[in-house]
Amino acid sequence: NIFANMPRGLSCLASPEVQEAKYETPSLSELHRLMWTKKGTNNHMDEVHPRIYIGNMYAAKDKRTLQAHNITHVLNAADGKFNVNTGPSFYRDTSITYHGVEAFDMPSFDLSPFFYPAANFIKKALSSPTGNVFVHCAMGLSRSSTLVLAYLMIHENMTLADAITTVSANRNVSPNEGFLEQLRRLDRKLHCH
Just list the catalytic residues.
Answer: 137
Which of 90, 73, 74 has the alpha carbon at shortest distance from 140?
74
The C-alpha atoms of residue 72 and residue 25 are separated, in whole angstroms, by 34
Which amino acid is present at 154?
A: I
Q: Which residues contact 182 (CB under 8 A, 6 or more apart)?
A: 110, 111, 112, 115, 146
Instruction: Report H helices in 56-142.
Output: 57-60, 63-68, 87-90, 115-127
